[in-house]
Amino acid sequence: MGNRDKIQVDLIKLATGERLLRLTDLPSGLALEKKVDPLQPVVRQKERLSSVFEAALIRAELTAA
């Protein structure tokens, strides 16, 4: 877990016009979604969410061992 090559990133536009950023760990199927702040650059939000998601995957791997 925690391998960036195995994390899928999706930017989803909802019917309301809002957007979601979804990160999915392909091997485990775990996912994290967050509503995109329209006032902040998406790239910055993606980087921040990616670091949180990777840390959570590492933590889950350590507690499972």
CATH number at residue 29: 3.30.160
CA pair distance 16, 31, nearest whole angstrom:
22
Tell me, what's the pLDDT at 5?
75
CA pair distance 12, 22, nearest whole angstrom:
8
CA pair distance 26, 6, nearest whole angstrom:
6
Range of the domain at 59: 4-64
For the chain, what is the radius of gyration of the CA atoms? 13
Count of domains in the chain? 1
Tens-digit pLDDT profile for residues 18-44: 999 999 999 988 999 999 999 999 999
Quick one: pLDDT band at residue 4, thresholds 50, 70, 90?
Answer: low
What average pLDDT does the structure give for the chain? 90
CA pair distance 3, 6, nearest whole angstrom:
6
CA pair distance 32, 21, nearest whole angstrom:
8
The structure's pTM equals 0.81
